[in-house]
């Protein structure tokens, strides 16, 4: 276990923050890095042609299966199966690569592939008849060309189309997304704001004020779509981070309390026990 959760930045020295790599080869060469819990500061697309085992993202087990694509957002705590089989390709890209403007970033945040409103996205593919395979091959061909002034735009546009095609495939396979509405807009904005501020701000009133809506409007948005109050969503985010640090780091309870914005560790211990029904130390030992 590490003092803190390992963070892996995108590889330095590349002209573009985008790569397509052979999954089994990269796992073989970087197995010690990839099979410990870590936060990758980039997005993953795992195209698994042949696979077996269990992949973990934030305590959620994901079955590794033949002919599947798994979409993993940046900054999740991610762990590859040490004994798993991963044969296929992985596409790695940063938010900076994809997002030329705020509209692009909003697309990523709200996409059914990467939004934290949904579970980790996973789709089945038909290798012989998949439009996604065509775009993967085209992206790989372009990625392997000698770089020129057009390469970024071409790769970025291909990736955008690939993501749109993947969303279409998910819907074909029965995925039901939240319908566009004012409540959904408020929920997305609230979740984005929470992600930036949960360590220092825990007041529903402050979040509503920052969004220029009333607490009642925010409550309606979250309960209508999630059947959860804003306070419950704030608590879930704080507790997820607490669990990450307790299980995947050697930080003391006091250090974790301070990192999560608690001046007094005893207040954090009481808060954690109230919601998890065990103390932080008990949770760490059990996990």
Position 109 pLDDT exceeds 90: no
What are the angstrom distances between the C-alpha of 107 and each of 73, 98, 160, 194, 225?
Answer: 13, 10, 10, 18, 19
**Count helices and strands in the chain by DSSP H and E runs:** 13, 10
Does position 1 have pLDDT exceeding 70, yes or no? no
Q: What is the pLDDT of residue 269?
A: 97
Q: Model confidence at 114, in pLDDT bands (50, 70, 90)?
A: very high
Spatial contact of 23 and 48, defined as CB atoms under 8 Å apart: yes
Query: Taking 80 as the threshold, does the pLDDT of residue 205 lie above it?
Result: yes
Alpha carbon distance 89, 108 (integer Å): 21
Q: How confident is the model at residue 123 (pLDDT cuts 50, 70, 90)?
A: very high
Q: Give tens-digit pLDDT for 217-241.
A: 999 999 999 999 999 999 999 999 9
Average pLDDT over residues 127-145: 90
Q: Once rounded to an integer, what is the mean pLDDT over residues 259-280?
A: 96
Which residues, other chains included, contact 257 with Cβ-Cβ below 8 Å and sequence gap of 6+?
A: 264, 265, 267, 268, 269
Average pLDDT on 230-259 reads 96
Start and end residues for every CATH 2.60.120.280 domain found in the chain: 6-172
All CATH 1.10.10.60 domain ranges in the chain, comma separated: 182-286
Enumerate residues 6+ apart whose C-beta is below 8 A from 65. 48, 51, 52, 124
CATH topology of domain 6-172: Jelly Rolls (2.60.120)
Indicate the helix (H) or strand (E) that contains 72.
strand 68-72
Q: Could you please state the CATH topology (level 3) that the domain comprising 182-286 is classified under.
A: Arc Repressor Mutant, subunit A (1.10.10)
Q: DSSP secondary structure string, 87-132?
A: EEEEEEE-HHHH-SSHHHHHHHHHSTTT-TTSPPEEEE--TTT-HH
Q: How confident is the model at residue 2 (pLDDT cuts 50, 70, 90)?
A: low
């Amino acid at each position: 276990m590490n003092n803190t959760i390992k963070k892996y930045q995108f590889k330095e020295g590349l002209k573009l923050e985008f790569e397509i790599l052979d999954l089994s080869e990269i796992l073989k060469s970087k197995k010690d890095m990839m099979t410990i819990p870590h936060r990758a500061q980039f997005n993953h697309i795992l195209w698994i042609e042949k696979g077996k085992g269990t992949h973990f993202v934030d305590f959620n087990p994901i079955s590794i299966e033949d002919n599947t694509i798994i979409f993993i957002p940046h900054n999740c705590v991610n762990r590859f199966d040490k004994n798993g089989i991963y044969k296929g390709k992985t596409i790695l890209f940063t938010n900076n690569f994809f997002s030329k403007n705020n509209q692009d970033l909003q697309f990523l945040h709200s996409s059914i592939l990467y939004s934290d409103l949904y579970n980790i996205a996973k789709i089945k593919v038909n290798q012989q008849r998949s439009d996604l395979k065509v775009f993967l091959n085209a992206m790989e061909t372009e990625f392997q060309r000698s770089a020129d002034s057009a390469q970024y735009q071409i790769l970025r546009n291909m990736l955008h189309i690939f993501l749109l095609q993947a969303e279409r495939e998910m819907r074909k396979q029965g995925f039901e997304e939240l319908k566009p509405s004012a409540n959904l807009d408020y929920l997305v904005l609230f979740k984005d704001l929470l992600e930036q501020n949960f360590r220092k701000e825990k007041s529903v009133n402050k979040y509503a004020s920052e969004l220029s809506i009333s607490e009642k409007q925010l409550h309606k948005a979250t309960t209508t779509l999630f059947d959860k109050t804003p306070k419950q969503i704030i608590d879930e985010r704080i507790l997820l981070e607490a669990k990450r640090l307790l299980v995947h780091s050697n930080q003391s309870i006091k250090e974790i309390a301070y990192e999560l914005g608690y001046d007094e560790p005893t207040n954090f211990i009481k808060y954690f026990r109230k919601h998890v029904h065990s103390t932080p130390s008990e949770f760490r030992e059990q996990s």
